[in-house]
Amino acid sequence: MTRSVRIPAGSALAATQHDADFADAYEVLVPNSALTATEIYRGITRQTPGWVEGLMRLRNKVVQPLGLKDLGAMAMVPPGEAVPGQRMGLFEVVSVAPDELVLQDNDKHLVVQLSILKQTHDSTHDKLTLSTVVHIHNTLGRVYMAFVGPAHKLIAPAVVRRAPQAVLASLRQSRP
């Protein structure tokens, strides 16, 4: 079950949320595994609901005349190790640790930061938290978030909800 939570104190984003214009976090229990936060993120992006990718295509078409970036698709995540500065789907890698992947998109109207944090829950499950923090730069950012904020409240839980299946699929793929 996916639930809305506070940004975990152990997340790199905890320090940036105090002056954020938008911040939220969603958590779900996933099967305990040796997968890193980056590997889980890759698995989640492969499980992105089709309607979410459709909304991203629509977003990219609508904002281009406003001079905003085409972010591509969530599933456009390259294989291999994550490296700071590398693009992974919609976001650029900021930092990589086994238990947390921090991503960001910086555009002229706002900065979006995303964290995928994996923490031990019990002997059979890990807790996975997807946190988002947004800092708005200008009026365009406020208008943009007036539309994207409510959509995000549907999209983020829908994406996180698929994390348990993504972990299981990743574990099956890694078996010889």
Short-list 90, 112, 100, 111, CA closest to 159 = 90
Q: What's residue 83's pLDDT?
A: 83
pLDDT of residue 25 exceeding 90: yes
Q: For the residues 7-23, what does the mean pLDDT come to?
A: 94
Q: What's residue 4's pLDDT?
A: 95
The domain that holds 74 is classified in CATH as 3.30.530
Task: Using alpha carbons, list the distances in angstroms from residue 90 to 41, 44, 60, 71, 110.
Answer: 12, 13, 11, 5, 14
In whole angstroms, give the CA distance from residue 32 to residue 119: 10
pLDDT of residue 69 exceeding 70: no
Q: Using one digit for the tens of pLDDT, what is the confidence trace for 28-44?
A: 999 999 999 999 988 88
Count of the separate structural domains present in the chain? 1
Give residue 83's domain range: 3-174
Q: What percent of the chain has pLDDT over 90?
A: 47
pLDDT of residue 129 exceeding 60: yes
Short-list 32, 44, 1, CA closest to 169 = 44
Q: What's residue 143's pLDDT?
A: 85
